[in-house]
């Protein structure tokens, strides 16, 4: 089975980024990056399917040169090769642009299955996988918690609201967006790290007009201002509780 896994290089969770001079993005030179967590679970699921069914796992990523770091990590964990759509403008790209560039890069590979994380930890739109499936003309399912390949079809378990689940069967080839927690992640071994240095990373241009495909624009970016606004509510318990509810409803508007 030939499986593609789309991964993204996102800000590390403990990173403290600052806006750039134009205040429309962050200072990338000052930021720390890591593999997007839902994508890590998608990669692990692909590796498990390969171990069970055979074939190869190909990592696909779109972004500037720094993305090679997360690609090497994926190769060290067990992926066989990688495709890197390298373009400096893709570091801040929206879901539509990422899907366009990835579809142009993987369309000729004829994958049996394409896995993506449910959403990215930075922009969190949860649209890249869905848009990629539409561009490739593939059936797709989202929020996947279990994957069973059964010959020419794949049976998947979707997580719904309120603790409910749904089983869906799709014909292959197909695209799935994987939910975090579907499996237990593995880490790169020393042997895997050494082997990753010899694995192929095919770099390709964006293949699309990035300016035309970008559907969203960040107008302004700023660091939240911290302000201490402590208010003391006087009176007895009943009066204080009543006043607190009033302020939460009329002033804070959170209830």
Residue 156 has a CB neighbour count (10 Å cut-off) of 22
Beta strands in 132-200 (DSSP E): 140-150, 153-159, 165-171, 174-178
pLDDT value at residue 49: 97
Report the greatest alpha carbon distance in the chain. Answer: 73
3-state secondary structure of 221: coil
Question: What does pLDDT average to in each consecutive run of 10 residues of the chain (255 residues)?
Answer: 95 83 81 92 97 97 93 97 92 89 91 96 90 96 97 96 94 97 94 95 87 81 78 88 91 83
51's CB contacts (< 8 A; 6+ apart) are none
Q: Cα(45)–Cα(144) distance, rounded to whole angstroms? A: 11
Q: What number of CA atoms fall less than 13 Å from residue 27's CA on the CB side?
A: 10
* Helical segments of the chain, H only: 37-53, 68-77, 95-106, 128-136, 190-196, 210-213, 237-247
Q: Cα(177)–Cα(117) distance, rounded to whole angstroms? A: 5
Residue 100 contacts residue 135 (beta carbons within 8 Å)? yes
Q: Which two tokens stand for residue 187?
A: 């880490």
Every domain of the chain with CATH number 3.40.50.620 lies at: 2-213
* pTM: predicted TM-score of the whole model, two decimal places: 0.84
> How far does CA 77 lie from the centroid of its chain?
18
Q: Cα(88)–Cα(205) distance, rounded to whole angstroms? A: 10
Q: Does domain 2-213 have CATH number 3.30.230.70?
A: no
Q: Cα(36)–Cα(100) distance, rounded to whole angstroms? A: 19
Residue 60 contacts residue 81 (beta carbons within 8 Å)? no
Q: Please name which of 32, 242, 11 lies closest in space to residue 123, comparing C-alpha atoms.
A: 11
């Amino acid at each position: 089975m030939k499986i593609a896994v789309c991964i993204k290089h996102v800000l590390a969770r403990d990173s403290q980024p600052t806006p750039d001079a134009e205040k429309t993005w962050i200072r990338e030179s000052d930021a720390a990056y890591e593999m997007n967590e839902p994508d890590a679970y998608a990669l692990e699921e692909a590796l498990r399917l390969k171990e069970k069914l055979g074939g190869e796992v190909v990592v696909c990523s779109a972004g500037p040169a720094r993305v090679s770091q997360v690609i090497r990590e994926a190769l060290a964990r067990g992926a066989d090769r990688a495709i890197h759509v390298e373009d400096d403008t893709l570091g801040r790209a929206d879901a539509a642009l990422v899907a366009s560039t990835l579809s142009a890069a993987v369309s000729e590979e004829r994958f049996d299955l394409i896995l993506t994380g449910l959403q990215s930890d930075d922009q969190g739109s949860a649209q890249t996988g869905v848009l990629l499936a539409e561009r490739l003309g593939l059936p797709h399912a989202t929020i996947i918690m279990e994957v069973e390949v059964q010959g020419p079809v794949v049976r998947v378990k979707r997580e719904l609201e309120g603790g409910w689940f749904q089983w869906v069967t799709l014909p292959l080839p197909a695209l799935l967006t994987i939910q975090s927690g579907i499996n237990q992640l593995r880490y790169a071994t020393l042997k895997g790290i050494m082997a990753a240095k010899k694995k192929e990373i095919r770099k390709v241009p964006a293949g699309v007009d990035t300016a035309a495909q970008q559907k969203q624009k960040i107008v302004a970016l700023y660091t939240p201002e911290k302000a201490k606004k402590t208010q003391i509510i006087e009176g007895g318990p009943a009066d204080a509780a009543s006043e607190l509810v009033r302020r939460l409803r009329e002033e804070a508007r959170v209830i």
